[in-house]
Amino acid sequence: MPVKIRLSRHGKKHNAYYHIVVADSRAPRNGKFIEVIGDYNPNTNPATININHEKAITWLNNGAQPTETCRAILSYKGVLFHNHLLKGVTKGALTAEQAEAKFQQWLQEKSIKVDDKKKRVSSATQKTMESRMAEEQKKKEAKLEAIRVKYTPPPAEEAPAVTESEASAEGEAPAEA
């Protein structure tokens, strides 16, 4: 029985999330499966991936073949690298402690990269929101100004001011300021 590690689709239209399952390759996409080993949500940035490393490595050692997408996910989470290191241990190329040290170092580097991406995404989102708020404030002020102009009555016609020369000609005393 050929066994595959693949994705099983769940969720709504345009809002899918996936279970990472081990299934017979002849079974339909969302049909029977042997075991769920994780889940994948591509709707978040970066994508949320939860996977059981031990189960995944066990199935890989038993001969399960991941699909291209699952291979990329397993590689991203370090399952394939960990499996590679464990094969090196069984062949005697390195010790279990060395393999575990290399894997832990890789995990630390990967977590730093993911944290940097999360910070970049959040700062970009923050900048976008600030620029949108500034544009919205300008539009709001323009609307308020248009409304003020529309509903403000025109100024009343004032009598022309009397100048000193005209006032002295009429015999009135000029107004002192």
Q: Is residue 154 a part of any domain in this protein?
A: no
Note whether 75 and 57 are within 8 A (CB).
Answer: no
Same domain, 110 and 138: yes
- Choosing from 94, 124, 158, the residue where a domain stops is 94
Mean per-residue pLDDT over the chain, rounded = 87
Q: Is residue 169 a part of any domain in this protein?
A: no
Same domain, 85 and 24: yes
**What is the CATH number for 78?**
3.30.1320.10
pTM for this prediction = 0.68
Per-residue confidence (pLDDT) for residue 125, from 0 to 100: 86
Same domain, 88 and 110: no
Q: Per-residue pLDDT for 157 more than 60?
A: yes
Q: Per-residue pLDDT for 108 more than 60?
A: yes
Per-residue confidence (pLDDT) for residue 150, from 0 to 100: 84
Q: Per-residue pLDDT for 162 more than 80?
A: no
Same domain, 119 and 56: no
Q: Per-residue pLDDT for 173 more than 60?
A: no
- Domains held by the chain: number: 2
| Chain centroid to CA 153 | 51
Q: Is residue 16 a part of any domain in this protein?
A: yes
Coil, helix or strand at residue 42: coil
Same domain, 85 and 113: no
Q: Per-residue pLDDT for 74 more than 70?
A: yes
118-157 burial string, b = 16+ CB within 10 Å, else e?
eeeeeeeeeeeeeeeeeeeeeeeeeeeeeeeeeeeeeeee
% of the chain at pLDDT higher than 70? 88
Q: Per-residue pLDDT for 81 more than 90?
A: yes
Q: What is the DSSP letter of 46?
A: S
Q: Per-residue pLDDT for 165 more than 80?
A: no
